[in-house]
């Protein structure tokens, strides 16, 4: 075959490390592209674990020091799949070394870090992308298409939720490798950066920028045993975060995230109400897009449940036949495909770039500041 290799260096081997790697593995079987990812090296501090990971997925080699990985000449692109507090340092080193970067979301611990990262990649001129994968769930991509076609008209409301229930038990510890998402030192924040960031990225993409917010956070369980020390320590993350706000286009924002919504495992929902039409989507039934069009004949007007599996829907010509669903993991395959295609086509980068993802960071910062101060904050 005449495909051009894109040599990948993966840092991390957790949930996201697997999801991204699966994307690299599958993309060439389903998308006809000039470039093809090659699993060159996997990197993590624990040599045994990263070797097992590399063996399982077919990475050709391992590294236990990310600086060594970045230093290698045979690596074209680095995938950063480590806790948020390490993103910046690694990204800056990658930029310096001229590597392309595919960074797990959220971009950074805060806006300041993110700005530094943007400047570094832009100065270095390296391709960069952040894994806000939900943009590539076909139903969400279809929502974008419908909006861009003007089907909704003037937008009045945008609301989104990300509801989970996995931290309700007070017996759950915090911190350490497995539970770094419950430790603000590693994660930056709780549900705001982990869950709301997804909702915000999609919202900015679909509905434009947010100008101003008023937020509320809560930590329901105040102390938990730390997984590494065994000590009972204060919980320093937000368990729940809600905010109201206004978009630049005049529509109202209402966002909520929590890990204390019994009955919801990973219920990311969004709804957009426009003058003519409305759209709803939820991650638990991720290949259905609900669509309501007021222009339908009134006696047969109702929410349409669109089963997003046909060949004329985004990405779906690559997969099976109408009626047969793909999975969550395919959103990563699509993002890899779009990244490879951007290499092939030249100028335009695959979105969201660091600069684009920084906008989400700004909203998160404003949200956390508002919650801390009890005030409305401009983004």
Closest CB to its own copies among 117 and 142? 142
Q: List the interface residues with its own copies, window 18-47 (CB under 8 A).
A: 19, 22, 25-26, 28-29
332: enclosing H helix or E strand: helix 330-345
Size of the site for its own copies (CB under 8 A): 92
Q: How far is the CB of 6 from its own copies (least distance, A)?
A: 17
Cα–Cα distance measured from residue 67 to residue 363, given in angstroms and rounded to the nearest whole number: 31
339: enclosing H helix or E strand: helix 330-345
Residue pair 190/166 in contact (Cβ under 8 Å)? The answer is no
Find the length of the chain. Answer: 379
Q: Is 317 helix (H, G, I), strand (E, B) or coil?
A: helix
Interacting residue with its own copies among 34, 48, 55, 228 (CB under 8 A):
55
Residue 4 interacts with its own copies (CB under 8 A): yes or no: no
Q: How far is the CB of 21 from its own copies (least distance, A)?
A: 8
SS3 assignment for 130-176: ECCHHHHCHHHHHHHHHHHCCCCCCEEEEEEEEECCCCCCCCCCEEC
Q: How far is the CB of 222 from its own copies (least distance, A)?
A: 11
Q: How far is the CB of 88 from its own copies (least distance, A)?
A: 26
Closest CB to its own copies among 259 and 362? 259
Residue pair 264/169 in contact (Cβ under 8 Å)? The answer is no
Q: List the interface residues with its own copies, window 142-201 (CB under 8 A).
A: 142, 145-146, 151, 156-157, 159, 164-166, 168
Q: 172, exposed or middle or buried, with CB in 10 Å at 0-12, 13-18, 19+? A: middle
Interacting residue with its own copies among 256, 351, 359, 365 (CB under 8 A):
256
Interacting residue with its own copies among 312, 346, 347, 348 (CB under 8 A):
312
Q: How far is the CB of 138 from its own copies (least distance, A)?
A: 10
Here's the x/- map for its own copies, 82-121, by CB under 8 A: it reads as ----------------------------------------
Residue found under tokens 């101060």: 373
Interacting residue with its own copies among 234, 300, 347, 348 (CB under 8 A):
300
Rounded to a whole number, what is the distance in angstroms from the first to the last CA of the chain? 49
Q: How far is the CB of 364 from its own copies (least distance, A)?
A: 17
């Amino acid at each position: 075959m005449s495909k051009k290799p894109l040599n990948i260096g993966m840092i991390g081997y957790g949930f996201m490390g697997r999801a991204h790697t699966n994307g690299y593995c599958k993309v060439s079987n389903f998308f006809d592209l000039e470039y093809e990812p090659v699993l060159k090296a996997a990197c993590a501090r624990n040599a045994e674990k990263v070797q097992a990971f590399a063996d399982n997925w077919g990475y050709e080699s391992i590294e236990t020091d990310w600086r060594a990985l970045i230093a290698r000449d045979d690596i074209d692109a680095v995938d950063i799949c480590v806790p948020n507090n390490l993103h910046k340092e690694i990204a800056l080193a990658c930029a310096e070394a001229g590597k392309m970067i595919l960074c797990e979301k959220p971009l950074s611990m805060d806006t300041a870090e993110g700005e530094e990262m943007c400047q570094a990649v832009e100065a270095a001129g390296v391709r960069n992308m952040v894994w806000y994968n939900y943009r590539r769930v076909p139903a969400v991509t279809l929502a974008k298409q419908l909006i861009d076609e003007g089907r909704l008209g003037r937008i009045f409301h945008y609301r989104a939720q990300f509801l989970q229930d996995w931290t309700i038990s007070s017996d759950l510890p915090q911190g350490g490798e497995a539970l770094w998402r419950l430790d603000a030192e590693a994660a930056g924040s709780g549900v705001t950066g982990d869950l709301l960031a997804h909702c915000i990225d999609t919202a900015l993409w679909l509905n434009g920028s947010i100008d101003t917010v008023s937020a509320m956070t809560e930590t329901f369980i105040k102390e938990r045993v730390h997984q590494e020390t065994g000590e009972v320590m204060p919980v320093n993350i937000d368990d729940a975060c809600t905010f109201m706000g206004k978009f630049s286009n005049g529509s109202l924002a209402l966002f909520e995230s929590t890990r204390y919504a019994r009955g919801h495992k990973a219920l990311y929902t969004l709804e957009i109400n426009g003058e003519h039409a409305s759209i709803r989507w939820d991650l638990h039934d991720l290949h259905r897009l609900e669509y309501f069009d007021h222009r339908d004949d009134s006696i047969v007007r109702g929410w349409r449940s669109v089963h997003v599996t046909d060949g004329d829907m985004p990405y779906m010509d690559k997969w099976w036949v109408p009626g047969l669903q793909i999975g969550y993991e395919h959103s990563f395959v699509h993002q890899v495909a779009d990244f490879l295609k951007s290499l092939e086509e030249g100028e335009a980068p695959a979105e969201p770039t660091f600069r684009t993802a920084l906008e989400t960071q700004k909203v998160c910062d404003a949200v956390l500041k508002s919650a801390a101060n009890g005030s409305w904050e401009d983004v």
